[in-house]
Amino acid sequence: MTAEQRLRDRGIELPAVAKPVGAYVPAVRSGGFVFTAGQLPLRDGLLAGTGKVPSEVPLADAQQAARLAAMNALAAARSVLGSLDLVEQVVRVNVFVNSAAGFTDQAKVANGASELMLEVFAEAGRHTRCAVGVAELPLGSPVEVDLVLKVKS
């Protein structure tokens, strides 16, 4: 089954590509790879929530935000590829978590993005990952996600 078929079968509809909030593009293909810009959990152009995890954003909500940000990253990748069926391997997922002091469960938040990669790409969705706690994120977002994808030759 292809990535695009998995999306359809699971009822996952990728959003429109988020407009950059700065001087960059949402994704770039370079050789055999696609690199996405950091994506926020935007829904219909609006941030799905703001705040620090877990003091203002509960862990479960942060996981959903990471999933939504990853969906935005996949939409950005699809915009330069035409189809996610061209993805050979998810190489890297980076998840930045707007963390309250003392919060150390960034990896649990990042699972929201990682599990989506497995849903969409099956074994090709197994990836390396960084889950990093940060003091602030753009627009007060609870998470930001970027991807590195290897493209089929």
| For the chain, domain boundaries | 3-151
Full-model pTM: 0.98
What pLDDT digit, counting tens, does each position of 64-101 carry? Answer: 999 999 999 999 999 999 999 999 999 999 999 999 99
- Chain segment 110-121, per-residue pLDDT in tens: 999 999 999 999
What does each C-alpha distance from 24 to 18, 102, 130, 139 come to in angstroms?
A: 12, 33, 22, 16
Percent of the chain past pLDDT 70, that is, above it, reads 100
**pLDDT of 134 above 90:** yes
In words, the CATH class of domain 3-151 is alpha beta
Average pLDDT of the residues in 45-54: 96
Whether a cis peptide bond, with omega within 30° of 0, leads into 20 is: no
